Amino acid sequence: MSRTHQRLFFALWPGEDTRRALWQVSGTLHQVWNGRRMKPDTLHMTLVFLGDTPVEKVAVLREIAAAMDTRKFEVTLNHASCWRHNKVGFLSPEDSPPELLQLVYGLEDKLEEAGIAFDERPYKPHLTLLRNTRCTTQVAFAPIHWHIEEFVLVSSTTRETGPAYQLIGRWPLK
Ligand code: ATP
Ligand code: MG
């Protein structure tokens, strides 16, 4: 592990009720699609992936996050699918709420202004439930209505047992 850099990302972090609902859907999908279930306490939706970031930039990241004026909103996760290229199985919202995009693009604009690198590929909101999976057929599940009241900054380290995430900041929405 580096002392000069941290692997960072901004994310939406589910509360207990949403986490339980996600875990249940993960089980339903896993029965049909197989693969490896992400542990319940790691489930999240990435907003902006920064990757390896010099630790001295964290103060600026906190300022950027604190300056966001996005209102609370709801995300409805009503779509389940897989990406072939990386075998990830995920939930996504059929409609992205404007606040979600405002938050993501707002963070990206400020990061760019500050000269902080991030993954600039087009944003595709998704919440990974399964790894090493393949969507063989459609699976029915009850949509999850997720009330978003805050966003977080996460530090990610890879352990033998899989990724470990540490929340290093959280900011309430308005
Ligand atoms: P591991 O890579 O150790 O198997 P992981 O993918 O969960 O585990 P990270 O690679 O640190 O851990 O990724 C953290 C989060 O950021 C995950 O939600 C991941 O999907 C997302 N992510 C990773 N790389 C990128 C990227 N280049 N662009 C956008 N999101 C990314
Ligand atoms: Mg990864």
> What's the mean pLDDT in 80-85?
97
Choose among 24, 152, 156, 119: nearest CA to 77.
24
Q: Could you identify the atom of ligand 1 that is nearest to the CA of residue 162?
A: 3
- Give the residue whose CA is nearest to atom 7 of ligand 1: 163
CA separation for the pair 87, 72 (Å, rounded): 32
Helix (H, G, I), strand (E, B) or coil at 146: strand
- Give the residue whose CA is nearest to atom 6 of ligand 1: 163
Choose among 40, 30, 36: nearest CA to 80.
30
Q: Is the pLDDT of residue 160 over 70?
A: yes
> What's the mean pLDDT in 140-157?
98
Ligand 1 close to Cβ of residue 156 (< 6 A): yes
Domains of the chain from N-terminus onward: 5-172 (3.90.1140.10)
- Give the residue whose CA is nearest to atom 29 of ligand 1: 49
- Give the residue whose CA is nearest to atom 8 of ligand 1: 163
Which pLDDT belongs to residue 1? 65
Which residues are within 8 A (CB) of 4 and not within 5 positions of it... i.e. 6 or more apart?
54, 55
CA separation for the pair 146, 81 (Å, rounded): 18
Name the DSSP letter for residue 115: T
CB atoms within 10 A of CB 93: 20
Q: Does the pTM of the predicted model rise above 0.85?
A: yes
CA separation for the pair 1, 157 (Å, rounded): 8
Summarised one tens digit per residue, pLDDT across range 24-42 is: 999 999 999 999 999 999 9
Ligand 1 close to Cβ of residue 124 (< 6 A): no
Q: How confident is the model at residue 162 (pLDDT cuts 50, 70, 90)?
A: confident
Distance (angstroms) between ligand 2 centre and the Cα of 156 equals 9
Summarised one tens digit per residue, pLDDT across range 117-142 is: 999 999 999 999 999 999 999 999 99
Phi-psi region of 111 (alpha: psi -120 to 50; beta: other; left: phi over 0): alpha
